[in-house]
Homo-oligomer: A and B are copies of this chain.
Amino acid sequence: MPEPILIVDAEDPRIEPFRDVRERDLVGRSGFIAEGTVVLDQLLQAERFRPTAFLILRNRLEGIRSRLAGLPADIPVYVAERAVFDRIAGFPVNRGVLAHGTAAGTPWSVAAILARAAATGRPVVVGIEIANHDNLGAIFRNAAAFGAAGILLDETSCHPLYRKALRVSVGTALTLPWYRGGTGEAIVAACEAAGCRVLALSPSGDTPLTRLDRTAPAALLLGAEGRGLPASLMALCETVRIEMQPEVDSLNVATAAAIVLHALYSAA
C-alpha cells in the first residue's frame, strides 16, 4: 500500500479532486467520486475504471488498510482528521472514505453490451429520460442483483457516475456494463437488430407480467417516474404491466424494474 500522506491544511492543492464534492459534478470533466467502502470495493474490482487518489479519515485508515494493500505505490492515499476532512469535502462525510476515480481501458459500447446479452440470454435494461439520480442508482443496483447483461441509457438520462447515483448503485455503476447516449428510438432499433425482444414497462402495458413469456432474451425499457415512457417509443414495443391494486398510482421505476428483472431471473 502507498505510504499515507497526512493533510493538515484544507487548502492543500494536492486534495483538489476532493474539494466541495457535494457541489460539483465531476462527471465528464475529471473523473468521479466514490464514497464509502461498499462503492470502493466495486471500484477496486472494476475492469474499466481505476482509482487515482484516496482521502480517508484518519481513524478509518486501519479499518480499510487491507483493501488498499494491493494498490500501486503511485496512487496517493491522503489522510486527514475530521475537521480538515469535512472542510475539504464541504459537508460531513459520514463514511470517512472517499476515492477519486477515472475511466481506464475501452468503454463499453452498445454493440458489446447487446452481444453480452445475446451470449448469456440475460436481459438488457434501457433507461429513457431517467433524470433522478436516486432512481438511476437503484436501477443499477437492481439490474446487478438480477444479473442483467448491461444498461443502455438515452442521452437525456442522467449520468451513472454522478456521486449520488454511484452511491445508491452500491458501486455497481463501476462493474456492470453500461452505455449512455443516443435517442430512445436508436436504442430500440439496436436492441431489435441484435435479436432482443423489446419490452416497455408501463402501468398501462398490455401483457401482465405473470403471463409474459420469459424465455426469450429481452430489453426492458423504463421511463421516468411520473411521465413514463414516450408514447412514440411505447408504440414500437411489446408493453408489459405489473399487476397491482387499481387505485394505486404506480410503483417507483427502480422497484418496478426489480420486480420484472426478478421474474426474468427466476424463470431463466
A residues lining the B interface (CB < 8 Å): 38, 138, 141-142, 144-147, 170, 172, 208-210, 242-245, 248-252, 254-255, 258-259, 262, 265-266
A9 to chain B, nearest CB (A): 33
Q: Across the interface, do A170 and B242 meet the contact criterion of CB distance under 8 Å? A: no
Copies of this subunit? 2
Q: Across the interface, do A266 and B210 meet the contact criterion of CB distance under 8 Å? A: yes
Q: Across the interface, do A255 and B142 meet the contact criterion of CB distance under 8 Å? A: yes
Q: Which residue from B38, B146, B251 sits with its C-beta under 8 Å from A258?
A: B251
Q: Across the interface, do B255 and A146 meet the contact criterion of CB distance under 8 Å? A: no
Q: Across the interface, do B249 and A38 meet the contact criterion of CB distance under 8 Å? A: yes
Q: Which residue from B38, B147, B251 sits with its C-beta under 8 Å from A145?
A: B251
Q: Across the interface, do B262 and A242 meet the contact criterion of CB distance under 8 Å? A: yes
Residues of chain B within 8 A (CB-CB) of A147 are: 244-245
Q: Across the interface, do A141 and B252 meet the contact criterion of CB distance under 8 Å? A: yes
Q: Provide a sorted-by-A list of 20 A–B residue pairs whose CB atoms are within 8 angstroms.
A: A38-B249, A138-B252, A142-B251, A142-B255, A144-B245, A145-B245, A145-B250, A147-B244, A208-B266, A209-B266, A210-B266, A242-B262, A243-B262, A243-B265, A244-B262, A251-B258, A255-B255, A255-B258, A258-B258, A259-B262
Residues of chain B within 8 A (CB-CB) of A144 are: 245, 248
Closest B residue to A242 by CB, please name it.
B262
